C-alpha cells in the first residue's frame, strides 16, 4: 500500500484518536474534540493555516531524538520543556484536604452563572505563566469558543476558588468520557499566591474525579515552574513522559 498525505477531516477523528492513544497513552483525547477543532468555531485557531494570516506555528514534540530531529529538519526551533505527570486515582492516597483561607469558598465551574469571572482569572494567572505563547490578547468571545465550549471540558470537575465573587484560583478539568482526566490549566491570581489555593482547587478536583469513577489523572508541568511542580508532587503525581515546545516562523 502506497501511503498518501491529505488534509484531515471530521471522518478521520476516530482513527486519529486510536493512533494517539496507542502511541501516547497519557493523552486525553476524543473524536469529538478533534472534530470540533477541525470544523467548529475555533477551527481557525487550531488549524494554523498560512492563508489565515498565521505567522507563528506551535508544536509539542516528544522528548526523544528522532522526534526532535524531525522537528528541527522542518524548521522548528526548540522552546521550553514540559514534564507530563500521571496519577492512578484508584490506588493513590491523596493528602488531607487543605482548609480554605478565610473568605474563600470552593465551587465548580458548573456553578458559575457566567464564565466571565473565570476568563478574567485565566488571563490574570496566565500573564506571568512560563511559556512560549501567551494568551493576553484573547477576547472573551474567542476564549469562550476555544476553552469554555470545548466538548471535553468537564465543568463539574473544574474547580474554582472565589472571594467576594471574584475567581482567585482555579483548575480546569478535561475528560475523555471513559477513564482519563487532564488538568487543562491551574492558576492563581498574583495577589492570592502563597496561600495554598492551587493545592486547594487541585485536591478538590482530583477527589471529585475519583468519585466520578475516573482512573487516570494527568497534568503537564513546565519544567521551570518550580511552584507548580511542588503542588503536583504534593498531590502524588509522578513523571510519565516529557516533551519540548517548538515554534516555527511561517512568514517574516
CA 119 to chain centroid, in Å, comes to 15
Confidence at residue 25, expressed as pLDDT on a 0 to 100 scale: 85
| Contact by Cβ (8 Å): 84, 237 | no
Dist CA 188 CA 198 (whole Å): 7
Return the CATH class of domain 88-242.
Answer: alpha beta
Q: Is the predicted pLDDT of residue 48 greater than 50, yes or no?
A: no
The C-alpha cell at 27 is: 493523552
User: Tens digit of pLDDT for each residue in 17-38?
Assistant: 999 989 888 889 999 998 888 7
pLDDT tens figures, 113-169:
999 999 999 999 988 776 655 555 789 999 999 899 999 999 999 999 999 999 999
Q: What is the pLDDT of residue 6?
A: 83
Residue 184 has a CB neighbour count (10 Å cut-off) of 18
Dihedral (CA of 230, 153, 166, 135) sign: positive
CB 243 within 8 A of CB 81: yes
Domain assignments of the chain as residue spans, ordered by start: 10-82+245-249, 88-242
What's the rounded mean pLDDT across residues 176-194? 93
Choice among 1-10, 24-33, 230-239 with the minimum mean pLDDT: 1-10
pTM summary value:
0.89
Cα–Cα distance between 118 and 109 in angstroms, integer?
8
Amino acid at each position: 500500500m502506497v501511503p498518501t498525505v491529505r488534509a484531515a477531516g471530521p471522518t478521520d477523528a476516530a482513527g486519529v484518536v486510536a493512533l494517539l492513544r496507542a502511541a501516547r497513552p497519557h493523552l486525553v483525547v476524543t473524536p469529538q474534540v478533534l472534530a470540533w477543532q477541525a470544523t467548529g468555531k475555533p477551527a481557525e485557531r487550531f488549524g494554523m493555516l498560512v492563508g489565515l494570516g498565521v505567522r507563528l506555528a506551535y508544536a509539542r514534540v516528544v522528548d526523544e531524538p528522532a522526534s526532535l530531529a524531525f522537528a528541527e529538519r522542518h524548521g522548528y526551533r526548540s522552546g521550553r520543556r514540559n514534564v507530563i505527570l500521571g496519577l492512578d486515582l484508584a490506588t493513590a492516597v491523596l493528602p488531607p484536604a487543605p482548609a480554605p483561607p478565610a473568605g474563600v469558598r470552593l465551587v465548580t465551574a458548573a456553578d458559575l452563572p457566567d464564565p466571565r469571572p473565570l476568563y478574567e482569572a485565566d488571563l490574570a494567572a496566565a500573564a506571568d505563566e512560563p511559556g512560549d505563547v501567551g494568551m493576553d490578547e484573547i477576547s472573551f468571545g474567542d476564549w469562550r469558543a476555544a476553552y469554555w465550549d470545548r466538548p471535553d471540558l468537564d465543568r463539574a470537575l473544574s474547580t474554582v476558588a472565589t472571594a467576594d465573587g471574584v475567581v482567585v484560583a482555579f483548575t480546569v478539568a478535561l475528560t475523555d468520557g471513559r477513564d482519563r482526566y487532564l488538568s487543562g490549566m491551574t492558576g492563581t491570581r498574583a495577589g492570592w499566591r502563597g496561600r495554598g489555593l492551587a493545592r486547594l482547587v487541585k485536591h478538590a478536583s482530583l477527589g471529585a474525579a475519583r468519585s466520578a469513577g475516573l482512573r487516570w489523572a494527568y497534568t503537564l508541568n513546565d519544567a521551570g515552574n518550580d511552584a507548580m511542580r511542588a503542588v503536583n508532587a504534593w498531590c502524588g503525581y509522578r513523571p510519565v513522559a516529557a516533551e519540548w515546545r517548538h515554534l516555527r516562523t511561517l512568514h517574516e
